[in-house]
Amino acid sequence: MARDHLHVVMLPGPTFGHLIPFFQLSVALAKAGIHVSFVSTPGNIQRLPKLPPNLATLINMVEFPLPSLGNDLLPEGAEATIDVPVEKADYIKAAYDRLQYPISQFIAEQLPDWIIIDFSGHWAVEIAQNYNIGLVYFSVFSAATAIFFGHPPDYYFVGEHQKKAWPSPESMTKPPKWVSFPSSVAYRGYEAIGLHAGVYAENASGISDAARFTEVLRACKALAIRSCREFEGEYLSLHEKLMGKPVIPVGLLPQERHGVIGSDSSWKMIFEWLDKQEPKKPFWAIDDADSLPLGFIDITSGKGMVCMSWVPQMEILAHPSIGGSLFHSGWGSAIEMLQFGHCLVVLPFIYDQPLNARLFVEKGLAVEVERGEDGSFSRDGIAKAVRLFMVSKEGDKFKARVREAAAIFRDENLHQMCYIGHFVEYLKHGMEEGFAC
């Protein structure tokens, strides 16, 4: 039976690369008239953008304190992976898993129509089944990344009678055999080693990420994915074919210019500096002062700016002095940069970043910094990539493609009315109908 007044509970994982798109999807659903309960911890919710005033009655920010693990495994106030070193990120997951009981009580009281979860919240599968509530997995990754790990779910899990989709790090250095069209989306050798162990090894949380993915993908009724057919149509079509269940693109969720993370003081300081610059001059932003080489600030004085905390990235990207970005190739950041038609110089490091980098290079939208077989790179390599895109005549063809992509990435009507509209229809009717925009 169709439902006109829907209540959806959002359960993002404790990572800001996931919290932000879950928040953006919540806003998009609320604009379509859906009531949303966004569930996270107090510290994480406080660091999210402010809710649009006109949507405050449709989005309920629900706070649950992050349970303690004891033994000083996590520093005080740590609630997201950004708050701890990489080697302690699994303890954040372990603490997050302990939210299962209070969230189960909340679900029992609210009885929402749907629960939309991250892969890390595998325990929500049992909650949804106990209360007969529809479950949707929201993938914050690109469709190309999803395809790379997109073989039927049985192949994710590490078990006695099951096999891995990727039996070794070396196997991850080529596009998967189930991709039926030319693709360069794969890991390099130095990237695959750590990634393979990170996906399949049982970690401090007591369960591997592969097992989390498997449980969620098996149980969900549909997959929602932050992508669009205009950019990744071939990957989206294959993903649905492999999964055997609806794979629904919710659009790129382009973020509005206002309401991003940042302090008033940093906003004022940055724009006072930017307003003095000639268009397209370089801009530098570095978070950790300890990572700066000796004398860096003196050498670059008058040529750039060093920022030590959160900055209003969307406002910066919208400024006419910005012409391109050197970044790690995270999916969310790339969407923001292409929204403003910026040149992409990519230097990926972890997780899905290398796959995104190969995708953007494949699409002719990025230049990747050259690296050695061990992953090393030099300042000369960075300078070469930046000059190619920003200065050389060869960069003109890239800029033309970027402008074409920007028209797609910034099209709010396409992403809100078409993609979110289609997703809302699925949530209301419980079935996927023909897709057309």
Closest to 254 in 3D by CA, of 230, 279, 287, 284: 230
Return the pLDDT at 3.
55
The domain 7-256+412-429: what is its CATH number? 3.40.50.2000
Alpha helices in 220-309 (DSSP H): 229-243, 264-274, 296-300
CA end-to-end distance (rounded Å), the chain: 25
> Residue 265 contacts by C-beta under 8 Å, 6 or more apart in sequence?
none
Return the pLDDT at 260.
42
Return the pLDDT at 244.
87
Confidence (pTM) = 0.88
Between CA 185 and CA 306 the distance in angstroms is 33
Phi, psi of 370 (to 5 degrees): -65, 140
Between CA 8 and CA 34 the distance in angstroms is 7
Tracing tokens 């609630």 back to the chain, one arrives at 79
Instruction: Decide whether 7-256+412-429 matches 284-409 in CATH topology.
Output: yes
Q: What is the DSSP string of 224-246?
A: EES--HHHHHHHHHHHHHHHTS-
The domain 284-409: what is its CATH number? 3.40.50.2000
- Is 4 in contact with 429 (CB distance < 8 Å)? no
State the virtual CA torsion across 58, 250, 110, 15 in degrees, nearest 10. Answer: -100
Domain ranges of the chain: 7-256+412-429, 284-409
Between CA 305 and CA 303 the distance in angstroms is 7
Between CA 275 and CA 320 the distance in angstroms is 9
Return the pLDDT at 114.
98
Per-10-residue mean pLDDT of the chain, 437 residues long, equals: 77 95 97 97 94 95 95 91 90 96 98 97 97 97 91 51 73 91 96 90 87 91 97 94 92 72 48 54 51 74 66 80 90 94 94 97 96 95 93 89 95 94 92 61
Which amino acid is located at 40 in the chain? S
Return the pLDDT at 270.
57
Neighbours of 363 (CB within 10 A): 15
